[in-house]
């Protein structure tokens, strides 16, 4: 029978501190020392020691006192969500999207800039300058910055030094990243859909397993099993955009035919008709017959894909990406189409739209740093 070495005093203290901080940030509400000691079954001396450490790190405030019916009012312990923050940057072939996110996953700032991605040192320098300008514009304290999460619409090497495949930004074979050196902060590079999925999972009550389907210029996905991102043996898991929807159908950017991306990407609604995505939905709202026919086919194909994803993974599916912001008026229609394909599913009960819509990816990229900070605290 395996035996485990006893925890060191340092590790035990860290675990107690982490447990205390997670308790405070579960609801982000003030609490007294007595309430915390009772909630955590922790002695007051141990609790006080951990509170002192959290206060020294600037993570809590103890200046307020609670109401009292008599005697000295007890001190309130209040978690400070802005004590740390992280940046997320979504790099695409059309633009750059930046978001700053605090420990509560609240957005402290957001900006969309016309900077198409290029895998060059010059692009990296321009990106670094824009990050600094963003920090200044939103008056964010660099000493509280945990790191910068970068995302790309493609497959990233496990060591985050190369882009293995990203057809929407014209990379079809493994290419070393040439744009990272100029950023003077800790950097994490990840797939865009993985980041969108992680950010959506982090914000979900209960945080159970879930799938994330990203509908943007490309179609991607992520699968989180009990909170852990499942990447697969080749880091290509949940590439929903390249599952075959119609054998022998439309040609996809990957070179194959019938992929979901060939039917349900944002480009299917915009480029094919010579319209921007916004213009497409404006025309649809005004009753354009051609747009209506395209949209009806789009929803049917999307319903078919969602039914397949749910049949395989049997978990909630969250839809994000640039198309998702236009889906709320059609959510009922989409759910009905899903139910037609699978009568065991009542009105698409497993479907949810990502609340952050087109900001979800850069928010998720930043959230990785938030999660790591809390995990290691």
**pLDDT per residue as tens digits for the range 295-325:** 999 999 999 999 999 999 999 999 999 999 9
**For the whole model, what pTM was predicted?**
0.89
| 3 belongs to a structural domain | no
Domain limit, last residue, from 22, 51, 79: 79
Dihedral (CA of 36, 42, 44, 50) sign: negative
Q: Are residues 297 and 194 in the same domain?
A: no
- Rounded CA separation 104/203 (Å): 9
Q: Are residues 146 and 237 in the same domain?
A: no
DSSP state for residue 5 in the 8-state scheme: P
Q: Are residues 188 and 228 in the same domain?
A: no
Q: Are residues 220 and 321 in the same domain?
A: yes
State pLDDT tens for residues 150-170.
999 988 998 999 999 888 888
**Which CATH number characterizes residue 311's domain?**
3.30.420.40
Q: Are residues 314 and 364 in the same domain?
A: no
User: Which tokens belong to 209?
Assistant: 């397993």
DSSP state for residue 371 in the 8-state scheme: H
Q: Are residues 250 and 138 in the same domain?
A: no
Q: Are residues 193 and 289 in the same domain?
A: no
| 5 belongs to a structural domain | no
Q: Are residues 223 and 281 in the same domain?
A: yes
Place of tokens 């206060």: 55
Query: If pLDDT is split at 50, 70 and 90, which confidence band does 69 have?
Result: low
User: Which tokens belong to 356?
Assistant: 């952050």
Q: Are residues 230 and 302 in the same domain?
A: yes
Query: If pLDDT is split at 50, 70 and 90, which confidence band does 70 have?
Result: low
Q: Are residues 270 and 154 in the same domain?
A: no
- Rounded CA separation 373/297 (Å): 44
H-state helical runs in the chain: 9-27, 33-40, 44-56, 121-137, 192-202, 261-264, 266-269, 277-285, 289-313, 331-341, 360-376
Comparing CA positions, the residue from 263, 165, 175 lying closest to residue 213 is 263
| 165 belongs to a structural domain | yes
Are the C-beta atoms of 201 and 221 separated by less than 8 Å?
no
| 6 belongs to a structural domain | no
| 182 belongs to a structural domain | yes
pLDDT of residue 220: 92
User: Which tokens belong to 260?
Assistant: 């979901």
Q: Are residues 180 and 274 in the same domain?
A: no
User: Which tokens belong to 10?
Assistant: 């340092």
Output 12 or 5, whichever has higher pLDDT: 12
**Pairing state between β 107-113 and 145-152:** unpaired
Comparing CA positions, the residue from 289, 287, 288, 265 lying closest to residue 277 is 265
pLDDT of residue 47: 94
pLDDT at 2 over 60: no
pLDDT of residue 348: 62
The most confident of 72-81, 172-181, 231-240, 292-301, by mean pLDDT: 292-301
Comparing CA positions, the residue from 292, 309, 297 lying closest to residue 348 is 309
Domain count, the chain: 3
| 194 belongs to a structural domain | yes
Are the C-beta atoms of 101 and 48 separated by less than 8 Å?
no
**Which CATH number characterizes residue 21's domain?**
1.10.10.10
Which domain covers residue 23, as residue numbers?
A: 11-64+74-79
Mean pLDDT of the chain: 91
DSSP for 61-95? E---B---SSSSPPBEEEE-GGGSEEEEEEE-SS-
Query: If pLDDT is split at 50, 70 and 90, which confidence band does 207 have?
Result: low
User: Which tokens belong to 125?
Assistant: 């320098």
pLDDT of residue 3: 58
User: Which tokens belong to 344?
Assistant: 């065991």
- Rounded CA separation 55/338 (Å): 51
- Rounded CA separation 176/183 (Å): 16
Q: Are residues 170 and 254 in the same domain?
A: no
């Amino acid at each position: 029978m395996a035996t485990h070495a006893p925890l060191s005093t340092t590790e035990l203290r860290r675990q107690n501190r982490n447990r205390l901080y997670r308790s405070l940030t579960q609801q982000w509400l003030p609490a007294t020392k007595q309430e915390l000691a009772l909630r955590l079954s922790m002695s007051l001396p141990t609790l006080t020691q951990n509170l002192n450490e959290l206060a020294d790190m600037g993570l809590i405030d103890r200046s307020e006192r609670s109401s009292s019916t008599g005697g000295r009012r007890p001190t309130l312990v209040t978690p400070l969500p802005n004590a740390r923050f992280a940046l997320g940057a979504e790099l695409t072939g059309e633009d750059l999207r930046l978001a700053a996110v605090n420990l509560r996953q609240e957005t402290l700032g957001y900006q969309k800039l016309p900077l198409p991605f290029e895998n060059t040192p010059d692009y990296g320098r321009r990106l670094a300058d824009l990050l600094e300008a963003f920090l200044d514009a939103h008056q964010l304290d660099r000493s509280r910055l945990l790191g910068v999460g970068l995302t790309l619409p493609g497959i990233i090497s496990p060591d985050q030094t190369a882009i293995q495949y990203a057809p929407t930004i014209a990379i079809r074979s493994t290419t070393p990243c040439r744009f990272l050196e100029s950023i003077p902060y800790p950097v994490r590079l990840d797939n865009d859909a993985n980041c969108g999925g992680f950010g959506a999972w982090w914000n979900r009550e209960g945080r159970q397993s879930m799938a994330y389907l990203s509908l943007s210029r490309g179609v991607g996905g992520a699968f989180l099993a009990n909170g852990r991102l499942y990447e697969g043996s080749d880091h290509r898991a949940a590439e929903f955009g390249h599952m075959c929807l119609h054998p022998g159908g439309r040609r996809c950017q990957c070179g194959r035919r019938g992929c979901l991306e060939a039917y349900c990407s944002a480009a299917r609604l915009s480029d094919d008709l010579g319209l921007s995505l916004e213009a497409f939905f404006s025309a649809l709202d005004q009753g354009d017959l051609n747009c209506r026919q395209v949209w009806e086919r789009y929803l049917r194909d999307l319903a078919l894909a969602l039914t397949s994803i749910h049949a395989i993974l049997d978990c909630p599916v969250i839809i994000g990406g640039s198309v998702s912001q236009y889906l709320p008026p059609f959510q009922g229609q989409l759910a009905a189409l899903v139910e037609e394909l699978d009568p065991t599913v009542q009105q698409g009960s497993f479907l949810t739209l990502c609340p952050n819509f087109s900001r979800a990816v850069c928010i998720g990229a930043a959230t990785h740093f938030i999660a790591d900070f809390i995990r290691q605290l």
